[in-house]
Amino acid sequence: PPEWRRRLVVIGCGYLGATHAACMAELGHEVLGVEVDPARLAALQAGRVPFHEPGLAELLARHVASGRLRFTDSYAEAGAFGDVHFVCVGTPQRGDSLGADTSHVEAAVASLAPHLDRPALVVGKSTVPVGTAASLAATLAALSPAPDEVDLAWSPEFLREGFAIADTLRPDRVVVGVASERAEKLLRELYAPQVDAGCPLVVTDLATAELVKVAANAFLATKISFVNAVSEVCEAAGADVVDLAEALGHDARIGHRFLRAGIGFGGGCLPKDIRAFVHRAGELGVEDTMSFLRQVDAINQRQRQRVVQLSTALLGGSVTRTRIAVWGAAFKPDSDDVRDSPALSIAGRLHLRGATVTVHDPAAGGTARAAYPTLTYADSPLEACRDADLLLHLTEWSDYREVDVAAVGRVVRRKQLLDGRNALDAALWREHGFTVRGMGRRP
Ligand code: UGA
C-alpha cells in the first residue's frame, strides 16, 4: 500500500464518527470504527447507517463491502490495529448543570490507553470544554504501556448535519491543536488531501483548538439570536426582517448566512455548546465576559414562546379544542434529528394547552414519535392539514414549498398559515385565500 495510507480507528460512530470513518475510507485509508452500542454496531457492521444523512448510506455500504471499513466494540482490537485514533463520542449537556458531560470522552481514552503499546496518535474531534485535552493527555501518559510513544492532538469538527460528507471531504478549514512535532507531522500528512485542494490549515495548541470549536458555534448562535431579536422590533415597528437581513448581508463583513429569522436554533450542538461555554468560563473565573450568551439562549427560547402566543392569538385567544397542523419536526431540514427541536417543542406546548396537533415530517416522523408520543402524526403534508384551524410551518423542508396550495385550501377548516421559518411564498398562499403571518414580517 502507498506510504500515506494509514490504519485509522474512529471511536464513537454517531453522526460525526460514522461520517468521519466513511470519508477516511473514501480517501483510501483502512478504517476500524469502535461502537459500544450493540444495535448501532450491528447496523453499521451490516453496512447500514442508523440515522438520516444524505449520501452516507451509499458511501458506508460501499466501503464496508470493499473491506476497507470495519466496525467493532473491542478497544483491544482498536489498539492493535490503529496508527491514529479519532475520538468522536458525544458530549451532551450534563443532568446537574449547564456544563458538558465529558464522561464518554474520558471513558473512551481510558479504555483505549492500556492497549496503546506502540507509536500511536490519539486525535480528539468531540466538542469539549477547554482544558479537557490536557487532562486526557495525562490519562494517556498514566495508562499507556508506551507513554513516550503516544501523543494526543485536538482537531475539532465543524460539519453540519445534512452536509456531513461534503463538510468532511471539503471543509472550510482544518484546525489542529498539537503538543509535539511528531503529532503535527502526522496530522499534516493525514489532512493533505483537503489542504492540497486549497483548504486553510490552522496549527495551534490544544487549548486554542478546543476553544475554536465552541467559539464558532457561539458566534453562529449569536448571529441567529441577533436577527431574531431584531425581528421582534420589526414586528413592533411594522418593518420587515427578511428585507432587513438581505440588506445587512450585502455588507461582506456581516454576510447573509445564519441571518434567517424564525423560530430559532435547536439540535444537538448549538444550544448545549453555548451553555457549556458559559459554564466553562465560570469555572475559569471569567463568567461575566461570556454572560451575553445567556441572553442568546434566552432570545432563542423566547422565539418558541412567541410562536405559541401568536398561534393562540390567531385562534381567537385560546387553542383548546382547535386543530393545528405542524409541518416539520426535525431541528432543521434534511435531518431526522429532533434533539432540542424548536418545531417539536412548539408542537408539544400547543398540545399541552389543549389543541389537537398533527405533525408531518418527511424524515423525522419516527424519531419525533419516539420523543413526543402524545402528538398525532400524519404521513403526508396534506393529511396533516385535514380540518386544521391553523397551519404552522416550522422546519423548512423543500417538500413544503412544492405542496399544492389549492389542495391545502380545500382540506383545512380555516385558511391560516404561520410561517415560522419565513420560507414559504407568502404571496402565493395569500392568492389562495390564506391569512399568512411570518416571524418579524409585515402582517
Ligand atoms: C452546527 C454548526 O453549524 C456546525 O458547524 C457544527 O459543526 C455543528 O453544529 C456541531 O457542533 O456539530 P448543525 O447543528 O448541524 O451544525 O446545524 P446548523 O445548520 O448549524 O443549524 C442549527 C440550527 O440553527 C437549526 O435549528 C437551524 O434551523 C437554525 N438556523 C440556522 C436558524 O434558525 N437560522 C439560520 O439562519 C441558520
Residue at 371: amino acid letter? A
Q: Give the other-Cβ count within 10 Å of 58's Cβ.
A: 13
Q: Whose CA is nearest to atom 17 of ligand 1?
A: 160
User: How does the average pLDDT of the chain come out, rounded?
Assistant: 97
pLDDT, tens digit, 9 for 90 and up, residues 284-340: 999 999 999 999 999 999 999 999 999 999 999 999 999 999 999 999 999 999 999
Distance 395 CA to ligand 1 centre (A): 13
**291 and 425 part of one domain:** yes
Model confidence at 2, pLDDT cuts 50, 70, 90, reads: low
pLDDT of residue 443: 81
Q: What own/partner pairs with CB < 8 Å and gap ≥ 24 does 314-321 have?
A: 314/390, 314/416, 314/418, 314/435, 314/437, 315/355, 315/389, 315/390, 318/353, 318/354, 319/350, 319/353, 319/354, 319/355, 320/353, 320/354, 320/355, 321/354, 321/355, 321/356
Model confidence at 5, pLDDT cuts 50, 70, 90, reads: confident
Q: Which domain holds residue 274?
A: 221-443
**302 and 432 part of one domain:** yes
Query: Given ligand 1 and candidates 160, 165, 397, which is best to mutate, with the most ligand atoms within 8 Å of its CB?
Result: 160
Are 276 and 100 in contact, with CB atoms under 8 Å apart? yes
Q: Is residue 211 part of a domain?
A: no
pLDDT, tens digit, 9 for 90 and up, residues 164-188: 999 999 999 999 999 999 999 999 9
Model confidence at 1, pLDDT cuts 50, 70, 90, reads: low
Closest atom of ligand 1 to CA, residue 335 = 15
Among 204, 232, 249, identify where a domain stops: 204
**Beta carbon of 294 within 6 Å of any ligand 1 atom:** no
What is the value of pTM for the model shown?
0.96
**353 and 244 part of one domain:** yes
**325 and 428 part of one domain:** yes
**167 and 303 part of one domain:** no
Q: Is residue 226 part of a domain?
A: yes
Among 155, 170, 204, identify where a domain stops: 204
Closest atom of ligand 1 to CA, residue 421 = 33
**Beta carbon of 277 within 6 Å of any ligand 1 atom:** no
List the grid coordinates of 27: 480517501
List the grid coordinates of 244: 432587513
Q: Whose CA is nearest to atom 9 of ligand 1?
A: 269
Mean pLDDT confidence for 47-69: 94
Among 178, 204, 230, identify where a domain stops: 204
Q: Is residue 215 part of a domain?
A: no
pLDDT, tens digit, 9 for 90 and up, residues 63-91: 999 999 999 999 999 999 999 999 999 99
User: Which are the catalytic amino acids?
Assistant: 269
**Beta carbon of 396 within 6 Å of any ligand 1 atom:** no
**163 and 252 part of one domain:** no
CATH number, domain containing residue 443 = 3.40.50.720
Q: Is residue 239 part of a domain?
A: yes
As separate numbers, helices (DSSP H) first and strands (DSSP E) second, the chain gives: 19, 14
**320 and 352 part of one domain:** yes
**76 and 111 part of one domain:** yes
**296 and 322 part of one domain:** yes
Instruction: Please identify which residue in the block is written with the cell numbers 458530549.
Output: 91
The pLDDT > 90 percentage for the chain reads 97
**Beta carbon of 127 within 6 Å of any ligand 1 atom:** yes
Q: Give the other-Cβ count within 10 Å of 103's Cβ.
A: 12
**115 and 184 part of one domain:** yes
Instruction: Please identify which residue in the block is written with the cell numbers 492540497.
Output: 196
The count of domains in the chain is 2
The answer to whether residue 117 scores a pLDDT higher than 90 is yes
List the grid coordinates of 148: 513516550
**Beta carbon of 242 within 6 Å of any ligand 1 atom:** no
